[in-house]
Amino acid sequence: MEGLARGATGRRVGSSTVIRAAALVFLLAAPSLDHKLALIESNRLKPGSRVVTTAAEWNAWVADQVPRGVTRTHLDLGENRVTASANIDFLKVDRAAGNAPNWFLASILQGDRPVTVTARIQSANGRARVDVERVQVAGVAVEGRALDFLIQEYVIPHYPQAQVSQWFPLHYRIDHFEIHPSSCTIVLR
């Protein structure tokens, strides 16, 4: 019986069928989120509208958005927190962005590294704030002052549009969002 499940009809279904069905749901979720985001951007929704998005939709969408060098992405939603994990080849990401690190950094950065980032997210009155609480790279955790240094010396210079630990305006009449383990609800003004 290992590797078999019972389908809705009670028939045995092979594990490969279950995996294919799960993959299909995952692939169909990205267009669903694209549609919801397009509705928000269209400015056609009424004030007070609530757009509910699921963790599965966000995972499919993120997997489609990441640059070359980032694989195996996954988002876990929590109460006003998001934990993102991925395998990252920092050298490939830098090269895809047009950066050419020196040979020393290239030798250190080459190869996939498992990375996990946990951030607390706040939003209210058309503004939001993302505070990175913890980063783990290849099993090594970075928190506190070391994390602040990493953000100031690496993240901000490489990604100057990143807004970390500061309030920023939300666009498209978004008032706030509510993040829970299974969903993120976007509330419009």
Q: Is the confidence at residue 188, as pLDDT, over 80?
A: yes
Give the pLDDT score at 92: 87
Give the pLDDT score at 5: 39
Smallest CA-to-CA distance from 93 within 79, 73, 108, 110 is with 110
Give the pLDDT score at 94: 79
Report pLDDT digits (tens) over 71-127: 999 999 999 999 999 999 988 887 887 877 777 667 766 789 999 999 999 999 999
Average pLDDT, the chain: 84
Q: What is the mean pLDDT of residues 48-58?
A: 95
- Cβ atoms of 62 and 77 closer than 8 Å: no
Q: What is the mean pLDDT of residues 57-61?
A: 93
Task: Give the Å distances, CA to CA, from 40 to 12, 20, 68, 160, 165.
Answer: 42, 31, 28, 26, 25
